[in-house]
Structure 1
């Protein structure tokens, strides 16, 4: 698809390449719908433990509708619905909610839940688990919180993989955060397997289809783009990874922007082709707003790249559909 975006100014020519796929994934879409449906069905306020997804615009819109975002469960009253974020929570959180007889809705992405189940399976088989991920990320906190303390060791870097010392003689297994860089993770896994040749692979790749597709799309985008703009919030792991992947794939420059207002126009000095994509938690309207801002300043030719067409959907909790 090639469209010319009208521009009444006499700006210089700029080719804008738009990545496919981009923006919302099925897990993010489901999590947001859970909060929206809960507000419709039960009225405001609906409490949400942590940001439902890592995007400032999404959080602010839901807050305006009546969602109350809190850090911990003890900030929620017993008599209002509470939603757990898409990143997943430690087992202790729903247990605490049940003990208080709270009504809660779990918006954990099903692909994150798959990693939880996999970790539990390895633990039941007597394996010590290596979790490849970023310390402090809610998904990592949630995954480590599925099992007793000490059952999982966190591996963040290749250096961690080189120096990891097994706590005992138990066999090992690994799982990963779903939003990591494919290339970084592959290097960590290679390093671990050089040291522990019997380390089994997951039955199915832990890094989710949406992360994979967006990283492959941004690699294609980076080829021939002078600048790549990734729409997403700074606390969004998958969005930050897209910037890193674009730079490694050959983009001269790549930047993360929360929205069009965060563009520094000096980035465009000497730029003839800009690639545009978005992390899995960024709404499409932010991407269109960025393209409109480019069209007001430049004579833009818009080209949408070919890429994977995503048809995955996840069911909502039965309490919201009954």
Structure 2
């Protein structure tokens, strides 16, 4: 079996632009053009709550496959920052894996997917313990001989960190794949502010402010922020909330808390793949080029793809779907997920 690689992705012009790939990735335009099969994971999906430990509840969605007598395995999908279980890229990947006979679990992080009222404390990117605990709960409630995990952007970062902890928590995770994951948060934050076009920061900030207002509405008795703080830029608002709502003494300590830069991935005990694009305008490729990865971690840097785009053509389908499905299927068959 030949596995696809990043170098195999050659989109037509103007999809050779990383900016166009990135902007189309989560756009409403893309949702209108995608074929109906890209939403099949929504059919018969069950909305569920999973245990994040210490009374924490996280929401998710489970869809059982019905194309073969027994499932190939359980595929768990993590969305990106300010995304949800219903983000286009999550639905499309889940639907593709469903076609191959995988059961699908899509997890919402805290305060994502309209889950603002489930937990009192705010989401932040160092809340890995509750995600690992939830992953263990998912494994127990939907047992499968093959459990594989894929995450996108910040979800890719969470996926890598969760996978490194899975063996010590008895979670039977067999493989993890991260698409355009955040590697060095301090560099990624700086990139959005200084080198990426202004509209990327504006896009994320508008979504984040809307989420913070929804959180405040869910718990009106708690003051999560001052109105003046919402007017700050990405770095300023992040720092204000970190100092107000976490035990980290500085923004730098917080950003370092979810970094997987340098040799951090040497703690990975299971097979893993990182797929990114050289033209990603959100996360600089230099962060990936400086990574020190062990032999069980595949680092695949494509020329094109933007940030979590990899859109093949005007049907708006993604190269990622085949890429992820091929590697998940290899793991389920007891084969190597590497070319």
TM-score interval w.r.t. the shorter chain? 0.3 to 0.5
Q: TM-score, normalised by structure 2?
A: 0.34
Give the number of the structure with larger relative contact order, counting CA–CA contacts within 8 Å between residues 6 or more apart.
1
